[in-house]
Structure 1
Amino acid sequence: MSSSRRVTPGPVPSAASRRTGAARRGAAALGLAVATTVTGLTVNSAPAGAAVPVGPVIQDGMAQPVFSSNRNDWIREEVWVETPVDSDGDGRNDRVHAEVTRLRETETAGLKSPVVYEVSPYYAGGNDVANHDVDHELNQAVRPGKGWLNRGGKLLDPAADERLSAAADDSGAGGADASLAASGPQPVISTSHESNWLPRGFAVVHAESLGSGQSDGCPTTGGRNETIGAKSVVDWLNGRAKAYDASGREVGATWSTGKVGMIGTSYNGTLPNAVASTGVEGLEAIVPISAISSWYDYYRANGAVVAAGGYQGEDTDVLAEYVYTRADRQVCRSVIEELAKAQDRVTGDYNAFWDERNYMNDVGKVHAAVLVAHGLNDWNVKTKQAAQWYEALKARGVPHKIYLHQGGHGGSPSVDVLNRWFTRYLWDYQNGVENDPRALVQREDKTLVQYAEWPDPAAANTELNLAPGAGGAAGVLTPDRTRKGKPVTETIVDDATQRAQTLADAATSPNRLAYKSEALTAAARLSGTPRVSLRMSFDQPAANVTALLVDYDQSGKAKIITRGWTDPQNRKSISRTEPVKPGTPYRLDFDLQPHDYIFPAGHRIGVVLLSSDYEYTIRPAPGARLHLDTTKSTVTLPIVGGAGALTPES
């Protein structure tokens, strides 16, 4: 049974020790008069007709839109928050440009609001930049300039463009309220989230990441300075940092409860992960959508230089140049040049540069409740980013939930899902969201299914063996070890001009090896991270290795479900390149991108192995030969129900 309660936030634990607002408005004007107590909140208790403190109305565990939705009733103010870093080396602490939108009641009636906060390097647009050339031999340094794709030009995959996400309303309301005019002296940074959260009593803050727009500092593509810059806004909202208006007058956030929830998509969702990894007090919840948890895994994979889908040849220096939109176009030149050197596109090794950009290192500091959202078909920010972050949070007992959908890059949970999350952790209302099923997965038919957890606890790692085909035709993928047969070596001839989809569809090809299961007698669900263990040798000292997991329908048409890559020179460690000795067999163990997928009855599960991947890897000249020992190679799939779920069609 639903109930409606007007509540005022309890005491806020913050460095500023701010007191909950006590100004009043007439209850009769809102038609509200209640007298009860809710755990964690003080509920208004007053005689009929008496004035009551201003606060949110909570119904069915969600804050209701009872405040004005009229943009003219909102207060907008512009501030520059001082940070403790000087990333542009000008002798002054960098300042982050931010814009606050809050209810008039925070000024006239003592309302204290929690904050929905998004920070982005994209609000000021971007520069036309050239990507690195990818058509060259492995282990070679090639200067940027060829750039067959750039962020300012034609996109290979328009859905992968983070700028679209940065401009859209991440709350899922169908886009930003672009018609909202600024009431302050400067152009509006963004209006996303405002129409959803202001009427529910929240304030909204948008900020420009360091080096972009009107912020100081330099963009460093996930560097420590960007994290500190974004964190400083949370500190300001809790009275621990200073901010100034355009005239230099200090501005406080006395209207804030100090409780902050960060949300955003792509880079805008990555910064919440980064800030949460500092353990900053006051950050109570984050919603990272298509977000990065380790920048190495965005631009590299197991030692291989691998593109973000849709941006072949991009790297940290290219992205930094794209978002470098502050007025001073020279002060950050040396910083971006250093990115180009330190990122190491030659070996692809993990190093101190990447370690600084690995938020997994500090996941133990995260206390904010995390609602992860990711597209199962996002090949820009790949699913490993969400899966490894979520798994680490789960292992540490951090409040967590995951939303996985069938789309690509971007895709927010519904407003109701977000509202329950923010109401629980920002208004501190005990709505029981932490007891809900932890996983919300959109299935292939677009229905939403709730699962207790993700990956599905019933998924069991199922080892499958490879039995060779004949004459280049597909071999057999089977859980039966007795079908492996005598030792056989099969060969792949690298041809980077061939697309993975073409090779997966081909009945025969010298440029790939394919293995298919028997037709399934019942649907089989994969939930988690597939892995391959390959025994391979090479005729050259360097090569790409790519693995695809494929769904073959009854007609033999291939659908690539997920894929993974490795550099055999990094077979022992992603931090160390060791040359390959031609003719010597090596063990290569690597993951494919995590997924959740149901293989329909009558379909076949397939694994396709190739060398270079046209859309993702460096593309050397064709001709390298890779030799696979099928009897010593396996594929492991996390199948719900285990091997028994892969019974062949009779």
Structure 2
Amino acid sequence: MVRRGGIIAGLVVVLSGLVAVPASAATPAFVVANGVTQPIHAFADAVRETVWVDIGLDLDGDGVGDRVATDLIRPATTEPVPVIIDASPYYTTSGRGNESERKSYDSAGLPLKFPLFYDNYFVPRGYAVALVDFSGSSRSTGCMDTGGRSEVASGKAVVDWLNGRATGYSAASGGSPVTASWSTGAAAMIGKSWDGSITQGVAATGVDGLRPIAAISSWYDWFRSDGVSFRSFGTPTSLASGFENANARSRCAAVRSEMTAGAPGNGDYTAMWQQRDYVRNAANVRAAVFSVNGRADLNVKAVNWGQWLDAVPASVPRKLWLSQTGHIDPFDFRRATWVATLHRWFDRWLLDVPNGIENEPKVSVERAVDQWSDTADWPPAGTRSRTLYPVAGSVAGVGTLRTTPGTSTSSFTDNGSGTPSRYIASPGATSARRVVYSTGTLATDLRVAGVSRVTVAATPSTSTAHLSAYLVDYGPATARGSSGEGIRTLATESCWGENRPGDDACYRDTVATTAAVDAQVIARGWADLANYASLSTPRTLTPGTRYTMTFRLSTTDWTVPAGHRLALVIAGNDSSMTTTPGQLPRVTIGLAETSVRIPLLGTVPAARSGPAPEVVRIQPDPVPGRLDG
């Protein structure tokens, strides 16, 4: 929490019963009853304004500091209040939330519609809400730089302004200085997707106040994976071009050129990617972290949240939610619990309400559709990394996972059109496209919790080769459907907060989609074998030569239930996600040097031969999107 002068003054906190305030006294900033802040401020009377905050850069080169438009709404009280900030490029383009809400303004130019429910719910309870347009987007000046220093400054400068360390103005150019004398200085940033990613970037500067949803912790891992480029994600330049305003389009060619040069199509890790890697500065984080992610999110891939939480100091208060959805805000898959939990989180870390939320279980995981289980900590106590090895069986390309290495080799041919749903089908039969190795049938549950890493000893027949690897839970289950990212929007509505003209608090309800399945991918990863020795400098592969490469699989917290099997599938290019190599190879895997290191809680059964599980019902491969665009 950020506080001006180390004190939040003039606030009334009561743990039981409302405080009677004399008519002559100023309205308190907040009142607590039943452990949470209460709606004591008339939403219709809330103060609305726009302030343009100087971010300390001039990337558009006009000789004037770049300014970000900050639309504010706050309770009409003379007492100082904390602020919830969501910085975004989406407010006048694709919009926010499941209903794509956009900002709007009244005839006087004052902000009218504030997307999402934060203003409706929290302003009556004594919070201000600030919705910030990224530099170069909507009504801000400057340039968009796709996760770079300008966008991080868009959020950090607003926090600094709230604390008297930056300058705000009444207009995008010129205007008079505006101060935030009404602010306590306590600020929390929040946001899903691109918004949450910049939240992490701001937190890595050491600024307090953080709660991202499905956020990118390293932009390399959104566009690339261990040397291979993702097929449908474009480039940092093309992504920014979809959201930048007219000023940015005309004045930011140098920024676009820098991004283009820094993102070579071969998937190399460059200095530009390093600048956009928030994990390397995560040790600076002092803010309380609430991270929400979807296991099936192929947009903001799950490796992002795992590496972020691993790097954030252990002393930082944290909470983690893991759903089975795709790229979905928790407001649309666990609405009532989400609002109640977020309310208590902000009360605790912005207003010092002693509600004990920091002492509750830190992890909540959706184990089955709409069925949640809590764990005290992350990673869960007792988790140990185990190395498992593929061992050939009597069927070519099919074998077991054991705790000791095998011998011999297995091969597959990359035809350029393979996808996960095809790779994991028919695990007991030989496939020309992949190899598969599984444990025996589990006698007890086996929990996979963390980032797994696969080491592959691969001999390609050509000078280019891409690899894919998957951890698979084989066994019958009811899962969230792959359509709609796991939800379906209903015609009914529920309301969360207060209404005022031009800004209602009601949102369409959702329900989980479901599908009966016999196999589920629980972690996945992709790599370019040419980067076996370095992500920044690829090597030219010599056909017929064996190369060993270790690459990451996505972070997961998944329980493979008793009666199921855990399997490792290794294949060539994943045409649903990654670009196709220049020459399609036949790849031979040396089993003695190939392994997978998995963080496990439970016992891996002794390997034994047996009939392969029947796999008939496989979901279609989900289609990744462009952030929230």
What TM-score does the superposition give when structure 1 sets the normalisation length?
0.80
Q: How big is each residue's C-alpha offset from its partner over 1:24-76, in whole Å with a ceiling of 9 and x where there is no partner?
A: 9xx9xxx9447xxxxxxxxxxx8x887466131223432222322x4x31111
Match 2:295 to one of 376, 398, 406: 376
Q: Percent identity?
A: 34
Instruction: Tell me the equivalent position of 1:235.
Output: 160
Aligned residue for 1:297, secondary structure, equals helix
CA contact (8 A) 1:76 1:182 kept: no
When residues 416 and 73 of structure 1 are mapped into structure 2, their CA distance, relative to the original with a 3 A threshold, is same
Aligned residue for 1:329, secondary structure, equals helix
Q: How big is each residue's C-alpha offset from its partner over 1:392-430, in whole Å with a ceiling of 9 and x where there is no partner?
A: 1243x1122211111111323701211121111111222
When residues 202 and 531 of structure 1 are mapped into structure 2, their CA distance, relative to the original with a 3 A threshold, is same
Instruction: Tell me the equivalent position of 2:170.
Output: 245
Unaligned runs of at least 5 residues, structure 1: 1-8, 35-45, 126-162, 169-173
Instruction: Tell me the equivalent position of 2:29.
Output: 55
Asked if residue 167 in structure 1 is aligned to residue 96 in structure 2, the reply is: yes
Kindly provide the amino acid, as one letter, of the partner of residue 522 in structure 1: T
Kindly provide the amino acid, as one letter, of the partner of residue 460 in structure 2: F
When residues 63 and 325 of structure 1 are mapped into structure 2, their CA distance, relative to the original with a 3 A threshold, is same
Instruction: Tell me the equivalent position of 2:622.
Output: none
Match 1:560 to one of 495, 507, 521: 521
Q: How big is each residue's C-alpha offset from its partner over 1:312-344, in whole Å with a ceiling of 9 and x where there is no partner?
A: 142211111111124453111332133112111
Structure 1: distance between partners of 2:404 and 2:277: 40
Structure 1: distance between partners of 2:108 and 2:375: 46
Unaligned runs of at least 5 residues, structure 2: 331-336, 478-516, 612-629
When residues 296 and 623 of structure 1 are mapped into structure 2, their CA distance, relative to the original with a 3 A threshold, is closer
Name the structure where strand makes up a greater proportion of residues: 2
For 1:334-373, list aligned pairs within 5 A: 334-346=254-266, 348-373=267-292
Aligned residue for 1:330, secondary structure, equals helix
Kindly provide the amino acid, as one letter, of the partner of residue 373 in structure 2: V
When residues 557 and 470 of structure 1 are mapped into structure 2, their CA distance, relative to the original with a 3 A threshold, is farther
Structure 2: distance between partners of 1:378 and 1:77: 36
For 1:187-336, list aligned pairs within 5 A: 188=112, 190-192=114-116, 193-246=118-171, 248-280=175-207, 283=208, 285-307=209-231, 312-327=232-247, 329-336=249-256
Aligned residue for 2:530, secondary structure, equals helix
Q: How big is each residue's C-alpha offset from its partner over 1:549-605, in whole Å with a ceiling of 9 and x where there is no partner?
A: 112226994322221112222222222222222222222212210111122222222
Structure 2: distance between partners of 1:642 and 1:589: 24
CA contact (8 A) 1:461 1:642 kept: no
Match 1:631 to one of 556, 580, 592: 592
Kindly provide the amino acid, as one letter, of the partner of residue 503 in structure 1: Y
Instruction: Tell me the equivalent position of 1:430.
Output: 354
Aligned residue for 1:290, secondary structure, equals strand
Asked if residue 111 in structure 1 is aligned to residue 101 in structure 2, the reply is: no
Q: How big is each residue's C-alpha offset from its partner over 1:127-155, in whole Å with a ceiling of 9 and x where there is no partner?
A: xxxxxxxxxxxxxxxxxxxxxxxxxxxxx
Aligned residue for 1:279, secondary structure, equals coil
Match 1:78 to one of 45, 50, 56: 50
Structure 1: distance between partners of 2:317 and 2:582: 49
When residues 470 and 511 of structure 1 are mapped into structure 2, their CA distance, relative to the original with a 3 A threshold, is farther
Following TM superposition, by how much is the alpha carbon of 1:469 offset from its aligned partner in structure 2, in angstroms?
3.9
What TM-score does the superposition give when structure 2 sets the normalisation length?
0.82
CA contact (8 A) 1:505 1:557 kept: no
Aligned residue for 1:535, secondary structure, equals strand
- The CA RMSD over aligned residues, in Å, is 3.0
Following TM superposition, by how much is the alpha carbon of 1:439 offset from its aligned partner in structure 2, in angstroms?
1.2
Aligned residue for 2:387, secondary structure, equals strand
Kindly provide the amino acid, as one letter, of the partner of residue 124 in structure 1: T
Kindly provide the amino acid, as one letter, of the partner of residue 121 in structure 1: P
Structure 1: distance between partners of 2:460 and 2:534: 19
Q: How big is each residue's C-alpha offset from its partner over 1:222-249, in whole Å with a ceiling of 9 and x where there is no partner?
A: 1112111221111111111111123712
CA contact (8 A) 1:521 1:649 kept: no
When residues 567 and 176 of structure 1 are mapped into structure 2, their CA distance, relative to the original with a 3 A threshold, is closer
For 1:467-506, list aligned pairs within 5 A: 467-470=391-394, 472=396, 474-479=398-403, 484=406, 487-506=407-426
When residues 52 and 444 of structure 1 are mapped into structure 2, their CA distance, relative to the original with a 3 A threshold, is same
CA contact (8 A) 1:56 1:200 kept: yes
Following TM superposition, by how much is the alpha carbon of 1:379 offset from its aligned partner in structure 2, in angstroms?
1.1
When residues 33 and 219 of structure 1 are mapped into structure 2, their CA distance, relative to the original with a 3 A threshold, is closer
Aligned residue for 1:546, secondary structure, equals strand
When residues 515 and 646 of structure 1 are mapped into structure 2, their CA distance, relative to the original with a 3 A threshold, is closer
Instruction: Tell me the equivalent position of 1:408.
Output: 326
Kindly provide the amino acid, as one letter, of the partner of residue 244 in structure 1: Y
Match 1:439 to one of 363, 366, 371: 363
Following TM superposition, by how much is the alpha carbon of 1:81 offset from its aligned partner in structure 2, in angstroms?
0.8
When residues 236 and 623 of structure 1 are mapped into structure 2, their CA distance, relative to the original with a 3 A threshold, is closer
Asked if residue 385 in structure 1 is aligned to residue 301 in structure 2, the reply is: no
Instruction: Tell me the equivalent position of 1:572.
Output: 533
